[in-house]
Structure 1
């Protein structure tokens, strides 16, 4: 027997026959969403015009007045449903052909689906859909989520799971209320909120990095601890001394000249409190720094390959500790929004679980600052829809409206994100040597 007689299978040929499994998550989700929306339209049809008001609050002086935009609901819904069906069909075709359908498909599907839902709810209603108010309210509700998501991204990118975003929100809001009340300066209150977020992050980092406590457990414990602590201090300190300690100075709306006069977009984006403009700066700055600077390279190296980072002279635990504290300061800014821009006082549990929605935005955004920002805007929009539908006296049950933000969160994370992997070393303590 010669060597030529020995037949060995060719690796290329063998691997060519192995087909990767079809990724059905997106097409199945789009098809299910289309079916549910179609079922709603068939079982509870509504007719007439849906009126969309394109102007801001009448108290605001604007050079261009657009007025109301009546839309025939029946024809609009039919056209949009045809487009939705085509998008779902294209996602199936692309999946079968093992091609990428494109990120624009679920995005466009979601935008059109929401438009159909709002048009259906407003059809024949006596009220109008306040477009500017709807978008502006969605942006306002998304601001703390964006800062919380940025804090969560930095924490997980560096290797520490930050489940304590809710605690950082709460203590940040509490510290902002006290410091802004004493100094009558919202900027000082903002610094106080950052300190509050850093205190929670310091405890999280100390237990997770130095004492190797399970990170998820310490995060849950911190959420309960800060909730109890702020509730106790609210009753003992703030309630008896409300005029002195719980009347924080507020960030008023700052209108940017010219940009604030753009119809629809201007009042939404360029007539906002200082913290919103700070968000416009922080999000691209963190995104750029994470991928284009030495700091970002170290953060990602420590979160992905800590042992390799250690071999080139990076102090892994020091980088983790400092960046977890930095992430807490950023999340604390989100807490400041509650008391310095949204509500002019601190109340018990005023964050109401939004820290966990911010954590969902981190996962939905795949640990990327820009994607997480869009996810936070989506959740903020879903939360603001309940206020709009209540004003329209829509047929949607009130209980469903209260569930809407969390339903959107579940659909987004389970339906469109699916099984993804975060930073390789996230949640794993590093022991040198």
Structure 2
């Protein structure tokens, strides 16, 4: 059966106290909307429709950044969840498969849970995702008759007996497209909030002789985020779950609570992550690497056996081959370091290619920016770059070459050559004492006057 997704993302999120739409607030470096789209993407949906509202253009741009083929529709007035889903009807014209309704501010529902819902559709017309709540609070209640779902009751409409039920509604629904929109057309707004509730489709469907059931998941999957406090709690939950998964897959962390990961971080087994490391988006670390304390990685690839840090920064485009060493207070940006290269101290390497087994000395800088354009530095294999070398790009240093300490390289260096570009040292006898005497006399005069 073909699958289509309808993801509701129209809310402003007033309690966020933000100009940014609620679904664009980030968890693990990615908007909540992306998390919802990511879990469902494994179902290979034929169509994905995102229903926008507040700051629609920003939400559309974010949705298309994840999936260029996404369809967006606009809910001009927020009149309830059934009204929101109804906006997707035209976008699903001609589609005869199942629709899953998701929420952009509920980012943790897993692919496995969605697969269970699609499997349940083989036996029932309507499938609702529910959870057993420790504290049901103001959630809608799922009212069962035997093993079938009779109706969903919003908290405001529930009796005391119905409020005692702990099986709660997540809001996620799966049904055939034709049936779903037929049921939505029958939904009214005669309720305490004056809204069109998607939950009403279950009761309407039962009145029509349709079968409904509940698939349950852990309450943590259904966590909805409506405030900054809830966003922080969601971030903590994401980090804890991601760390645990990595450790279960063979990654070593000395102090996992100090390591922060992104939604797309990939780390191979037997890699060691020391305390206080941050992985921003787009990082892959292969097996057997070591990321030392207080390092920050973003958009980087670290190959097997390499060491990064402590206090290192890998920026987007950093590519480290096997057994590369990047040491303390080193920054790498848009640069490829070949196997066995070493950049161990106090160095900036940007827009560059460093050859195999080359050693870059402390204080080296690739001067890659002329104020308007970026330029590339190329260093060959088995080369030694002396400390405090300035490489003024575009420039090439050949294989098995060398630069002398404190050299400013402005011209290409041939294979096997040594570049020396610094002024000759002069020692002026007694000059230091004379200069200090002049300076001290000047300071004393300023103090008196």
| TM-score of the superposed pair, with normalisation by structure 1 | 0.22
Counting helix residues as a fraction of each chain, which structure ranks higher? 1
Larger radius of gyration: 2
Q: Which is bigger in relative contact order (C-alpha 8 A, separation at least 6)?
A: 1
